[in-house]
Amino acid sequence: MALVQEQEIAGDGCVSETILELKEATIKFGGLTAVNKVSFVLNRGDLFGLIGPNGAGKTTCFNLITGVYRPTSGDIEFKGKVINGFAPNKIATLGICRTFQNIRLFGALSARENVMVGANLRSKTVMPSSFWLLPPVIRETDEMRAKAEHLLEVVGLKEDMSTRSADLSYGEQRRLEIARAMATDPELILLDEPAAGMNPLEKETLQKVVRRIRDEFSMTVLLIEHDMRFVMGLCERIVVLDHGEEIAQGPPESIRSNPKVIEAYLGEAATH
């Protein structure tokens, strides 16, 4: 409870509002329970970390939230509305967007076009009118282009905006994925191992970018990451999963000293 109150004060003064809630979300693949009764609450403006050893069900959680999988039981509520089994594009429209652990950019498209694909979602022109070169369509395209360029600047890819995304370096592709997700104007952005394969300097820049996403773009951030220093230095609250089950939840300090977490990561022997 103390934690919640702290957040209310830390926020912009108003009572913090629940944006995403997992209620005993469970998914089974045949005999395997990949995610078992996981519950956590994200408040608007949170910088929330989701950690756990390999195979703990973190990415599966993301897939549940973004509609790739439908939970076998339990509910996922976004802004107070159950979104179980919604089509992925519907969920994106509601305001959740994500990046991917294994980068999934549209390789043949330029960096800017990738971001513009994301921006398509909030486009107001209806499909038939996009055939024609009507002034509103041109204006909107210009706006989308400007938005894409701004977002590329935020993630530090302004110089590479005309490069084919497949030709970008690994770290650049990760940042481009973030820009593309941001272009859909989500209220909640899910980052799946955004720092994977980055050097320490890049990770530091990325931390700044993630903070900026929250502070400047007022998006709620949920991120999966293996790099403890990165997560601990960035997130305000953390959920730890192991074998599909939630084993700990709380601020970084409490997680760091939680024996269950240490056990999950280092094996049982370490706790003795």
Partner 1 sequence: MIGEWTPLIAGLEFSILPQQLANGILLGSIYALIALGYTMVYGVLRLINFAHGEVFMLGAYTALLVSWKLGFTQENVAQHPDINGSILTLVLLLFCSMAVCGIVGVVIELLAYRPMRNQPRIAALITAIGVSLFLQYSGQLFLPNSPPPSINQKVNPIQGATNIPLRKASAETLNNVSTTTAAYEAAKAAFDAQLPNEESRFQLSPTGQALKETMDEANRARTDAEATANSERVEIILPNGQIVMFFSAIALMVGLHFLVNHTKIGRGMRAASHDFDTASLMGINVNRIVTFTFFIGSALAGAGAMMNATFLGTPLTTFYGVVPGVKAFVAAVLGGIGNIRGALLGGLLMGLAEALVAWAGYANMRDAIAFLILIFVLLFKPGGLLGSAAVEKV
Residues engaged in binding partner 1 (CB under 8 A): 66-68, 87-89, 92-93, 97-98, 100, 104-109, 113-114, 116-118, 120-121, 123, 125, 127, 130-131, 137, 141, 144, 180-181, 184
Note the helical H segments in 84-237: 88-94, 111-120, 135-154, 170-183, 200-215, 228-234
Q: Based on CB atoms, which residue is closest to partner 1, 184 or 220?
A: 184
Q: Report d(CA 94, CA 92) in Å as an integer.
A: 5
CB 171 within 8 A of CB 200: no
Tokens of residue 94, six digits: 């509601």
Distance, CA of 198 to chain centre:
18
- As measured in angstroms, the least distance from the Cβ of 203 to partner 1 is 24
Task: Give me the helix-helix angle, 170-183 and 135-154, nearest 10°.
Answer: 130
- As measured in angstroms, the least distance from the Cβ of 87 to partner 1 is 7
Q: Phi then psi for 112, rounded to 5 degrees?
A: -65, -40
- As measured in angstroms, the least distance from the Cβ of 264 to partner 1 is 29
- As measured in angstroms, the least distance from the Cβ of 84 to partner 1 is 17
CA distances for 222 relative to 46, 130, 137, 169, 198, angstroms: 8, 34, 34, 24, 19
Q: Based on CB atoms, which residue is closest to partner 1, 52 or 67?
A: 67
- As measured in angstroms, the least distance from the Cβ of 173 to partner 1 is 13
Residues 99, 105, 111, 116, CA torsion sign: negative
Q: Based on CB atoms, which residue is closest to partner 1, 108 or 266?
A: 108
Question: Residue 228: how many CB atoms within 10 A of its CB?
Answer: 15
Q: Based on CB atoms, which residue is closest to partner 1, 36 or 110?
A: 110
Q: Based on CB atoms, which residue is closest to partner 1, 104 or 208?
A: 104
- As measured in angstroms, the least distance from the Cβ of 109 to partner 1 is 6
Comparing CA positions, the residue from 168, 151, 153, 194 lying closest to residue 108 is: 168
Q: Based on CB atoms, which residue is closest to partner 1, 113 or 263?
A: 113
Q: Based on CB atoms, which residue is closest to partner 1, 68 or 266?
A: 68
Question: Residue 102: how many CB atoms within 10 A of its CB?
Answer: 8
Q: Report d(CA 65, CA 95) in Å as an integer.
A: 11
- As measured in angstroms, the least distance from the Cβ of 130 to partner 1 is 5
Q: Based on CB atoms, which residue is closest to partner 1, 19 or 91?
A: 91
- As measured in angstroms, the least distance from the Cβ of 64 to partner 1 is 13
